[in-house]
Structure 1
Amino acid sequence: MCRIAGIIDQHQHQEQLKLDIQSMCNVMAHGGPDDEGFYQSPDNDLLFGHRRLALIDLSEGGHQPMVYENKYVISFNGEIYNYLILKEELQNEGFQFKSKSDTEVILAGFAHWGLLLFEKLKGMFAFALYDITKKTTYLVRDQSGIKPLYYSTDHNRLVFASEVKAFKNIAYQYEENPDWKIYFLAFGHIPEPYTTLNGVFSLPKAHFLIWNHESKKAEITSYLIEKTSPRVANKYEADTLVKNILEKSVSQHLISDAPIGVFLSGGIDSSLLTLIANQLQQTANQNLHTISINFDHKQFSEEQYQQIVLDQIKSHHASYTLNEAIFSEYFPKALVAMDQPTNDGINSWFVNFFAKENGLKAVLSGIGADELFGGYPSFKRMRLVKILSLLPNYILRQSKKINKQGLKRAYYLSYRNTIGKYLFLRGFFTPDEISALLNISVSKVDHILKNLSSPAIPQGLEKEEQASWLETNLYMQNQLLKDTDAMSMQHGVEVRVPYLDSDLIQAIKSIKNELKYKGSQPKSLLIDAFNNLLPRKIWDRPKMGFTFPFQYWLKTNPHFLNSLAGIENKKANNLIADFKNGNLHWSKAMALYQVFNT
């Protein structure tokens, strides 16, 4: 797991290229504390930079950028979990390897399979691969968009990096995206492909960008080959399919030459990963590393559920208690750590802070289970979406006058598109509120949000499948994964997500809707698949999202309150007063902090 950067520009001075790439790598040094490397092409128009977090092949053999047979060069961020399988295939074809790294497997695989390699890779990755002979560079991102990759193709040059911050303080000037505050106040994050900078975009997941050095043109293409498989209609077959693939996924995600553990929150998703990982580690005569965070506010603590799991396993367990004093001490650092504005992410900073304190370089996380197996309220609200969508637009727009936020957001359904459905389910501020906060017209807000570049919900998906698609491709993609990556890499910690294994995602797609979401409770398919392993007390209880006592702590936090005090906007000040009186959720106050202090 690393940080990558690169510039391809035939008109820039060689020394300036070096200064810029060094600057980009310095900004991202936290994400690659173990090593640094650079590659400059012989004709000096290309320069790759790399900051390394070593987890596989900790030796110099894993140094990057890596050159292969004087034909290909790569700067790679991520982990390829099936690299040993691919390596064996390549060895059978006569390829030889100098290192034990997955990076070299990518290079040899490209030499053998070309573009077909990209779909063969199972894992989380973002890399730049330079074909020296063809004078072509490829930027490639994994199928689930777990690892970020940002790029700009303005002015006949290609600039890319793992973080948006890296595009600042270099010779090229990127102006602020004038619409980012509208995006942020509506979504609570910056939706892909947009960023806070004009001309800097996020490469779509499961896509690759081809940059032709001679024509100086870019083309972006999906590398996925659509697969159709018979729909699984048998309950036993569905349970078995999920069980076998998830166990295989966890096994692959545990591969590491550095300390790795599991984050145990006490919920269904992390508890199940812990129990599966424990079985695998015991088979290998190894004890599992686990880590938990609790709070001195007991209503936020899941310690009793963590203990239920710990009583069933053998692990080197570390438990930390986060209190208001520790939170206040590190809160300013967590705010600075954000790569892009987000209403969440602070909790991820602290989780990974404690993982680092415990000496772990990688942690398994339960991200993806709620989105794929139906763990959110949105799965039940899709029926309401369908009913409200039958109303004419003039009635939907009147909902902005309703005081209850959940119904007030029905305004967004007047957009009659995917964005409208998502913002009804998970929207943050409504257009009239955004208008008042930014001193712009509601019609401008509507125009910008309604015309966002965004994928549409595929045809033929049933209600719950639509919810899963929205949660996966918008909420998880743009917020959970982005926040997790940015905040974990601030501490040089890699977060791995076994539920987002491409085989598991494909398997779930193949299961009929009634088997996936029509059980007696949320995530029934996942629970039933592991009914002999997962304790009843873990799943037969009210859901607790992993959250912090922010509502209490931020109301007395001097750094936060002093920043809010300087805002000169009537609507913002009214909302801040509501927050102080306990009538506004902390996340909205956090959004105001970022919009008016950036």
Structure 2
Amino acid sequence: MCGIAGIITATCSAEPDKQIREIQAMTGALAHRGPDGEGFWKDESNQVYFGHRRLSIIDVSPAAAQPMQYGNRFTIIYNGEIYNFKELRESLLATGYRFATASDTEVILAAYQEYGVSCVEQFDGMFAFAIWDAEKAELFLARDRMGEKPLFFTWQERRFLFASEMKALWAVGVPKKPDPHQVLLYLGAGVTGISLHPEQSFYQDIFQLPPAHRALLKIGNGIWGQLESERYWDLNSTRPVAPDRWHPTDEFRALLKESIRKRLRSDVPVGSSLSGGVDSSSIACLVKELGAENWTGFSALFPGFEKDESGLIMEFTSQLGIRSVTCTPTVEDLLSNLDRMLYHQEVPVESASALVQFKVMELAASEGVTVLLDGQGADELLGGYDSYIHWFLQELWRTGPRSEFKKELKAFTAHGWTGGWGWRNRFAAWFPQVAQEQLIKKQANAVERIPYINVNYLEAGFRKEQLYKPLVTSLQDILYFDLTMGRLPELLRYADRNSMAFGREIRLPYLQPNLMELAAGLPSGQKMQHGYTKWVLRDSMKEQLPASIAWQKRKIGYEPPQASWMQDARMKQKIFAARELLVDRGIFQKRYLDRPIGDTGTNQVYDWRVLVLGTLFAT
């Protein structure tokens, strides 16, 4: 896990001293991502400049430092981990390759020489890397399947610049200009990112390589300014599993256990984020089953808050015999850490849950644990949110026996689901395209009706044609959307920036490719059954987990008492200051300053978004 930065110039020997100073500035802006060392490299023509900040995880020796060269031809800078590097190393050794280190970085280089751009299809891991091929004079860029690791780029003064975070680009004068369309989407709908244009960042003229994409920049043939990119993997292309695998309890559990086994590979201490939920608890159970010793779980508690999970956490850690280290984030932490957290996030966050994760990462750093396993991705993969239940019921209503629909509706209601069922659900089940259009219209209305928005800013910035909602005919349709375009990309950004702010690494076992492909191919009844979400996970872990966790009926996660925090007088002062800044920038009308700070409901949602946006713009 590291920070990478690069400069490619259109011509040889283009002010090499300047390029060296600027690659150092870019790398310096990423120092938090790699506190264990730094390295620089330029090619002989003074056309390629690489910078790297190192967080040592696998092979911590100096030999594994980057930029790393291989075969007098390839040079790499790399951020991430390849979990199956040992297996790949063995197969490459069998074909005649030799290695000078025990690192996964060198395995990537050998795999690139052996398989070319298809090497990424061999990797089970999280990664963003750049490889310079001196023989072909071309740059190869790649990003992991789900986009766990970031990679941003821009064009400036006949230079191609790329880096792990946008602040490295800003460090060398790339303008920091928020995209008005995305500002409006966030204020009105809480959305960050444009589903139909994943290459666009939150800022104008700064782009990102989308997840599951690879790209080539060829400069040896005289062509400049063209980045050739393509998608190399898509979960949506997964075929439904065969009927003899429709009860995959043992297979699912085996794949999850194997994923965890590989993600335990580390030369530094490993622990886990731990809530009272089934996702993180399942990981901890399997870690213990794999024989890991001195395991530590890191948790956030909120004593007295109705959604506090401290009781379940204490019950579980006591039963499993693992060390539990906790923190209790407060409004004081929000007041003192919001600026710093948003500096690292670079784009808006939808709730204070991001701050809770930030504090958990800080806790892990204080305990000297560098790597943490985390349960992110399970909810989107297996239908873990209550909001998915009505999509599941609509699928049953449209395709299944009504008796099955009635049974599941009754079971979910008995378990406390209050989503309800009515004519709108039946209509959406029978006419999904109309439902899709209505959801897009609803989002457009949410943006156009932002209270006190400056009409000129709205009309100039809002691109209604870029709004998108999925066509949902099955539960898997909405899960695919949230895995690739909706909830998960945002959560993965939280995880990367919050962990790297403290030089920590988060690993996500539920995002192992074979496990995701199995889950995506399962019928919906294996994801929701008998009134429970994430059925296959619960069923596969029911013998190991306490019943209170395996069969709990509520979904919480890192949810703090944000509503009460927002009532603090000091928070209201910060909200008002944020309003003033956004009024000065022409985003809101001046009369917005006369509106009282909201106490509950919708008004408080707007206040949070204004607070975040104003704080972000001020950093």
Q: Considering the TM-score relative to the shorter chain, is it more than 0.5?
A: yes
Give, as a single letter, the amino acid of the residue that structure 1 aligns with 2:212: A
Cα distance in 2, alignment partners of residues 74 and 133 from structure 1: 14
Report the secondary structure of 2:17's partner residue.
helix
Give, in whole Å, the separation in 1 of the partners of 2:182 and 2:561: 28
| Counterpart secondary structure, 2:201 | coil
The 1-side partners of 2:393 and 2:256 are apart by: 32
CA distance in structure 2 between the aligned counterparts of 1:37 and 1:248, rounded to whole angstroms: 34
Does residue 294 of structure 1 match 2:312? no
Cα distance, 1:157–1:419 mapped onto 2, change above 3 Å: farther
- Is 1:243 aligned with 2:230? no
Distance 2:154 2:394 in 1: 37
CA distance in 2, matches of 1:165, 1:438: 29
Change in CA separation of 1:546 and 1:63 when aligned onto 2, cut-off 3 Å:
same
Alignment pair present for 1:487 and 2:489: no
- The question of whether the paired residues in 2 share the 8 Å contact of 1:187 and 1:428 is answered with no
Corresponding residue number in structure 2 for 1:148: 150
Does 2:503 correspond to 1:497? no
Distance 1:137 1:575, change over 3 A: farther
**Structure 1 residue 551 corresponds to structure 2 residue 551:** no
Output one character per residue of 1:136-176: Cα deviation in whole Å (capped at 9) or x when no partner. Answer: 10110001111111112466432111111221131454644
**Structure 2 partner of 1:200:** 206
1:293-322 per-residue CA deviation (whole Å, 9 max, x = no partner) reads: 212343232111012211232323312233
Residue 4 of structure 2 corresponds to which residue in structure 1? 4
Cα gap change, 1:419 to 1:330, in 2 (>3 Å): farther
Describe the superposition over 1:468-502 as per-residue Cα deviations: whole angstroms up to 9, x where unpaired.
Answer: 01221123343101111111111111111111111
| Residue in structure 2 matched with residue 213 of structure 1 by the alignment | 219
Contact residue 254 and residue 260 of structure 1 kept, 8 A: yes
Q: CA deviation at 1:271?
A: 0.9
Match of 2:53 among 44, 51, 54: 51
Structure 2 counterpart SS, 1:145: coil
Classify the secondary structure of the residue corresponding to 2:251: helix
Aligned residue in 2 for 1:370? 379
The residue number in structure 2 matching 1:390 is none
Percentage of identical aligned residues: 27
Distance (Å, rounded) in 2 between the aligned partners of 1:330 and 1:156:
38
Match of 1:450 in 2: 465
Q: Find the residue that maps to 2:290 and give its secondary structure.
A: helix
Instruction: Find the partner of 2:275 among 265, 271, 296.
Output: 265
* Residue of structure 1 equivalent to 2:521: 510
Alpha-carbon offset, residue 38 of structure 1: 0.9
- TM-superposed deviation, 1:530: 1.5
Query: Could you tell me which residue of structure 1 aligns to residue 399 of structure 2?
Result: none
Out of 71-80 and 230-239, give the one that drifted further: 230-239
Q: 1:418 to 1:180 in 2, by over 3 A?
A: farther
Does residue 523 of the first structure (1) align with residue 534 of the second (2)?
A: yes
Give SS of 1:57's match: coil
Shift of 1:430: 0.7
Residue pair 1:578, 1:584 contacting (<8 A) in 2 also: no
1:525/1:7 CA distance change after superposition, 3 Å: same
For residues 424 and 112 of structure 1, the distance between their equivalents in structure 2, rounded to whole angstroms, comes to 50
Q: 1:353 aligns with which of 351, 362, 372?
A: 362
**Partner of 1:474 in structure 2?**
485
Residues 334-483 of structure 1: pairs in structure 2 closer than 5 A: 334-344=341-351, 345-382=354-391, 430-434=446-450, 436-440=452-456, 448-451=463-466, 462-483=473-494
Distance in 1 (alpha carbons) for counterparts of 2:2 and 2:438: 35
Report the Cα offset of residue 339 of structure 1.
1.7
Give the aligned partner of residue 418 of structure 2. Answer: none
Structure 1 residue matching 2:543: 3-state secondary structure: coil
In the aligned structure 1, how far is the partner of 2:111 from the partner of 2:438?
41
Give 3-state SS (helix, strand or coil) of 1:356's partner: helix
CA–CA distance in structure 1, aligned partners of residues 123 and 539 of structure 2: 30
* Alignment check: 8 A CA contact 2:475 2:524 kept: yes
Where do 1:83-102 residues align within 5 Å?
83-102=85-104
> Shift of the alpha carbon at 1:457?
5.0
Pick one of 271, 274, 281 that aligns with 2:284. Answer: 274
Q: 1:224 offset after TM fit, Å?
A: 2.7
Aligned to 2:596: 577
- Contact 1:341/1:594 (8 A) holds in 2: yes
Bigger drift between 75-84 and 265-274 goes to 265-274
CA distance in 1 between counterparts of 2:156 and 2:484 reads: 27
- Residue 311 of structure 2 is aligned with which of 304, 312, 324? 304
Native 8 Å contact 1:39 1:49 kept in 2: yes
Shift of 1:180: 3.0
Amino acid paired to 2:4? I
Distance change (3 Å), C-alpha of 1:438 and 1:383: farther
Greater displacement, 203-212 / 163-172: 163-172
Answer yes or no: is the 8 Å Cα contact 2:79–2:149 preserved in 1.
yes
Match of 1:224 in 2: 233
For the Cα contact (< 8 Å) 2:128–2:141, is it kept in 1?
Answer: yes
313-322 vs 370-379, greater mean Cα deviation: 313-322
Note if 1:184 corresponds to 2:202.
no
SS of equivalent to 1:143: coil
Secondary structure of 1:50 counterpart: strand
Structure 1 residue 431: deviation in Å? 2.1
Aligned residue for 1:306, secondary structure, equals: helix
The 1:208–1:537 alpha-carbon spacing in structure 2 relative to 1, beyond 3 Å, is: same
Mean CA deviation greater in 28-37 or 11-20:
11-20
Q: Is the 8 A contact 1:289 1:316 kept in 2?
A: yes
User: How far apart are the structure 2 equivalents of 1:539 and 1:222?
Assistant: 37
Farther off after superposition, 482-491 or 427-436: 427-436
State the Cα distance separating 1:114 from its structure 2 match. 1.2
**For the structure 1 residues 585 and 482, does the alpha-carbon distance in structure 2 shift closer, same or farther, using more than 3 Å as the test?**
farther
> Residue type matched to 1:126 in 2?
A
Aligned counterpart, 2:417: none
Distance 1:422 1:357, change over 3 A: farther
Q: Please point out which of 245, 248, 266 is paired with 1:256.
A: 266
Segments of structure 2 that go 5 or more residues without pairing to the other structure are: 397-421
- Larger CA deviation: 79-88 vs 523-532: 523-532
Deviation at 1:274, TM superposition (A): 1.0
Pairwise CA distance, 1:503: 1.0
What is the distance in 1 between the residues matched to 2:176 and 2:203?
6
Distance 1:349 1:174, change over 3 A: closer
Query: In the aligned structure 2, how far is the partner of 1:155 from the partner of 1:93?
Result: 44
User: For 1:520, what is the secondary structure of its paired residue?
Assistant: coil
* Structure 1 gap ranges (5+): 388-406
Amino acid at match of 2:268: A
Distance 1:585 1:539, change over 3 A: farther
Alignment CA distance shift 1:525-1:109 (3 Å): same
1:211, 1:219 within 8 Å by CA — same for their partners in 2? yes
More deviation, 565-574/298-307: 565-574
The aligned counterpart of 2:402 is: none
CA distance in 2, matches of 1:417, 1:8: 48
1:420-441 deviations in Å (ceiling 9; x for gaps): 687689x698122338424347
Distance 2:7 2:242 in 1: 47
> Hey, what's the Cα distance between the residues in 2 that align with 1:346 and 1:127?
28
Question: Secondary structure of the residue that 2:574 maps to in structure 1?
Answer: helix
Other structure's SS at 2:463 match: helix
Report if the CA contact (8 A) 2:327-2:360 is conserved. Answer: no
CA distance in 2, matches of 1:268, 1:275: 10
In the TM superposition, what is the alpha-carbon distance from 1:177 to its structure 2 partner?
Answer: 3.0
In 1, Cα distance between the equivalents of 2:386 and 2:275?
20
How far 1:356 moved relative to its partner? 1.0
- Which is further off, 538-547 or 136-145? 538-547
Counterpart CA distance in 2 for 1:19 and 1:175 is 24
Shift of 1:289: 1.9
CA root-mean-square deviation? 3.3
The 1:415–1:358 alpha-carbon spacing in structure 2 relative to 1, beyond 3 Å, is: same
